[in-house]
Structure 1
Amino acid sequence: MFESISESFRLALSKVRFVDDEKALKNALDVLKKALLKSDVHHKVVKEFIATIESDIKQKGIGQKQLLDSIKSNLTDILTASGNQGFVYSSVPPTVVLMAGLQGSGKTTSTVKLATYLKLRKKKVLVAACDLQRLAAVEQLKQLCEVNEIELFYIDGETDPLTVAKAALDKAKSGLYDVLLVDTAGRLAIDEVLMSQIKDIKTLLNPDEIFYVADAMSGQDGVRSADTFNEALGISGVILSKFDADTKGGVAIGIAKQIGIPLRFIGTGEKPADIESFIPDRIVSRIMGEGDLATLVEKTSTIIDEKEAKRLNQKIKKGQFNFNDFLEQMESVKKLGSMKSILGMLPGMGAMANQLKDIDLENSKEIIHIKAMISSMTLKERENPELLNNSRKRRIAEGAGLSQMQVNRFLKQFENASKMAKKFAGKGGARGLANLLAQAGQNRPR
């Protein structure tokens, strides 16, 4: 997201090459204005943004640094609506969250992503299936929850969402759950029946949060829909789905600035782990190509156990990192989300991330080949990579249905990865291994 705005910022900065060049500043501001309007940002917001930057620059002096600082500061202000950031837990559990949104906005998948996010943070989560309008809505939620090992509450044959919601709340309280996420019915358009039903559920549950799921590609229509839901329900936050698929970013700026509702989470891909807290200064850092290492570190810390990290760190230092360890870490890295979202958090890698098609760390042909190779090894070979002579490599290649050249290539990459891991072990421990394996995913065997 924000790809077009990000590119316009870079272009605007390139226009200002000399100090106190007012003509260059005018050209730069024109570039920004046209890009923001083209990105579905409301014209009043654009006018105010450009005027504020122009005033800043004229006070501080014209120059690239002044322009960069002003853009970052003012864009952060725009994206910082009053309210909470990320997830805020109730003082008395369970924290009840009502999920609202139009049909097709990604509400159900966002509910599962949010449940996954909380589960990775060791929270006990219950999802309630209260979308009883759309055909197969409960079945979709059942499948998603089952695949991601999330507990779902539903009542077979029940047609009243209030009955399901009440029973789910009772279970969440008696079962000592930390969070109850309630998936409600969406419609193709806003109507009185939709609003009446969700208002009744709100009255019954008295939720701690009401999250509205907005499609990031919906532009000003998305802003208007969010405004309507906010007037009817009092939304406490917005989850932007399909954040990775939209290059414009107008809906994010509009919701924050025009309505004043805080953006709480963003969906950054198709995987359950592809959801992040929306923290304005970090998002602006990504837009400006400076990365977001803070979020990457936080995500990594949720998937790597501290004791396991220390154990693995010792093995790496001693040169004992083996294929079993490699597989375990591959499984951990999958939980970080898509390769595209990971690269987007690394400084200077934003452009590459935008050009990259997501690498599926579970179902890609290359990862399947790696797993087949390791599965064709004996237990001793997995523990001791140095045992792999030519005859063993031939046997592994035959067992995996691959050529020996492919096996040799993988083993060479594994050897290089092990050497890099040893460096990571001395500079921050096994937590750095997530970044190492992300790189291994790019340098995969062909």
Structure 2
Amino acid sequence: MKQLLAKRVKTLTPSSTLAITAKAKELKEQGIDVIGLGAGEPDFNTPENILNAAKASMDAGLTKYTPAGGLPVLKKAIIDKLQRDNGLTYQANEILVGVGAKHVLYTLFQVILDEGDEVIIPIPYWVSYPEQVKLAGGVPVYVEGTADQGYKITPSQLRDAITNKTKAVIINSPSNPSGMIYSKEELAELAKVAEEKDILIVSDEIYEKLVYNGVEHFSIAQLSDAIKARTIVVNGVAKSHSMTGWRIGYAAGDKDIINAMTDLASHSTSNATTTAQYATVEAYNGSQETVEMMRQAFESRLEAIFPKLAAIPGFKVLKPQGAFYLLPDVSEAAAKTGYASVDDFANALLTEANVAVIPGSGFGAPATMRLSYATSLELLEEAVNRIETFVKTKWQDK
């Protein structure tokens, strides 16, 4: 029989976040009391006004195909949101509505990358960036933002990584997995390099609304018209409005890129789910009280759990400014408890302490592991207690 699989899929690395979540779920189904700190989604239900809007659209018979690039009424809601929240002005032909921010990014890389084009990806990175770049025939180029740098890259690092094959750089702020945020000043310095070297900027802002302790989110596209012209802003309602399963994201940027993405979407998805699009209209046009309520809840959990996690022997952790993740360096804890790698350490936490975390190897940071605090404070405290007991019981001073 001929080879069944295309070469492109043989290079794929399965999503570590989904794999750990699936394994934790399997253990739970066996009756084991597993606390899952792996999933990257809010633990709140979608706000009631959004649910009501979705039902109303279905009751009104609004269940048919929509334009491939999104409902005009939703594009307007997104345009209004970008103006209101970010001071950014876009036209309808500069907006694409897609099947979640993940698929929007996938579509973007498909239309901007030719074989061999390079995309600069800061470490630590969201697990799907490299895979999506490779699927488009591109080459991921990794630049490490160390803990000393707040898990952020510097302008000199960016400049040094750029070659004549570089097409774009990805900026994810607030970051998954580190929760760190680039300041306006830091973004301005990175933007200067992008402009000087004439590369695109992919600005993933999906955690925009989840920022803490007075820190403000700033979009790199806000810096100037020239930077806005070379930036594709990617965002959505999954994290901000607890709508992960609704699968609505969007891209805002150059009309030619957006038009190409729309054409590709017309042959791949036809359109994002109609009911979910109407729900998103309400998400952006309706009350934002629940968005702020959820943000405050995450901030409260962070304040409660951070010092306890930081106090565990062998854990070194920076306090995040956004998103809902903690990314401790646990390499010392892993070594002192007898494990050859953090991956082995994380697997033992799941099977022996019944706490599911994501090994940092999936994010390009193998000394770390990611913990989501998108769960109740009660469960978070119990999970940290289990981790602390696990570490202290197995600690070996040799």
- TM-score, normalization by structure 2: 0.34
Q: Radius of gyration: which is bigger? A: 1
Structure 1 or 2: more helix by fraction: 1
Q: Which has the higher contact order (CA 8 A, sep 6+)?
A: 2
- TM-score, normalization by structure 1: 0.31
